[in-house]
Structure 1
Amino acid sequence: MAGLNLEVFKFGMYVLFPIGIMYYFGTNLDDRFAVPDFWPKAENANRIPTEREEIKAELERLRARRLYFRDRRLAEEAARPQPPPTDETK
């Protein structure tokens, strides 16, 4: 008879424990445990382009950005003084 009582107890715990947790904390868990302004707004989030024109515009933007940084890097390298050549054959 002890085995049956243990099984009833375990079943009761499996069923009543989650129900008790839900009763204790309530139903508005999003309001109680949420951090305000944690997720970015839709207008600030990255959106993957899906239309053909959007993809072309994004590729053009990335190309212009890459060329801008390349030109800036080349200008900085040209402005940097070059070290004098050393003769390593001696």
Structure 2
Amino acid sequence: MGGPNLEVFKFAVYVFFPVAMMLHYGDPDWYRKHVLTYKDRIFPPDERLVTKLPTDQSALRDELAKIRARKAERRAEKEREQEEGTA
């Protein structure tokens, strides 16, 4: 079929490909440039995390009202920006 040269080539690929990938993606500069820049998009900052969950129904309703108000505010702001952009 391929002979010993093919087997040597395949062995070299099997050994050196993972090493090359580790050297490329394990570089600290590459990590800082490509991974840490997206960290805040993937994991929210601690101040945005809700650690104290509401336990009774009235607290839950209050929290839902706050969330809906923030969402409506963002939506209104977005609509204002779109109107300013088209005008």
TM-score, reference length from structure 1: 0.44
Higher helix proportion: 2
TM-score, reference length from structure 2: 0.45
